[in-house]
Structures are given as C-alpha cells and as structure tokens.
Amino acid sequence: MSGNGFSLGGSSFAQIMNALGTTTPTITDPLCFKTIFNTVQGLITSGHIIAGHDISAGGMIVALLEMTFSCEQIGLEIDLSALPEPDVIKILYSENPGILIQVNKGSPALKYE
C-alpha cells in the first residue's frame, strides 16, 4: 500500500540489530493509498473481508502472528514468492504502511497491483 520498496530503517527489527538505518517507510502515492483504502472499506461492507491487520507496527511477521492468537488450532502456510523482494527479512520485518486481510473462503480472488 505504501508504493515504495521494503524498508527496515527505524523498524523494530532494525532497532534490535542496533542498525536504525536511514531509509524509513513512507507513502509515495497518496492517491493510490486512498484508492486502496476505499476499496478495502467496500470489501468489508460487502462481507468479503472478515479480518485485517496493519503491518506498519512490527512488520508482516508480527501481523501474521497476531492474526493467529485468537485460535489455538491454527497455523500458517505463507507464500511470499509473488512479492517483488528477494530478501525475506525485509518482507517480514519492514514496517511499510499496508494491510493483511482475511477473506471468506468463498470470496473471489482479490488482487491489487
């Protein structure tokens, strides 16, 4: 949703590595952000999205884990291959503005590029 690459600067991960960095996440295209926000609101209203979690506070890994805390019999199978970043650390720990969504099993495939 942020429109820029995965950045670790200022992230919790960078802090524990004692490497705050100089490149921090930001939103580079406010119009795109607005479009995505409004689209997500519409999908919630139409009942396609049943849960969501932002990734800007701890990264994708924290959001994924927090989405599983409500159920003891849940696990994760994560496929990151469609993301345009080869560094899995950047993908999982970057705190770029974004959202993970959980959809109903019968919902149509949702894709935004």
pLDDT tens across the length of the chain (113 residues) = 455 677 666 667 777 777 766 776 778 888 988 998 898 899 889 888 888 898 888 888 889 988 888 878 878 888 889 888 898 988 888 888 888 888 877 666 655 44
In a domain, 108, yes or no: no
In a domain, 91, yes or no: yes
In a domain, 1, yes or no: no
**Which pLDDT value is given to residue 94?**
83
In a domain, 70, yes or no: yes
In this structure, the chain runs to a length of 113
In a domain, 2, yes or no: no
Domain that holds residue 66: 12-103
**Which pLDDT value is given to residue 113?**
46
CA distance readout (Å), 40 to 8, 31, 56, 89, 102: 25, 14, 17, 26, 11
In a domain, 30, yes or no: yes
Indicate the number of domains in the chain: 1
Q: Is 58 left (phi over 0), alpha (psi -120 to 50) or beta?
A: left
**Which pLDDT value is given to residue 110?**
57
In a domain, 111, yes or no: no
pTM of structure: 0.69
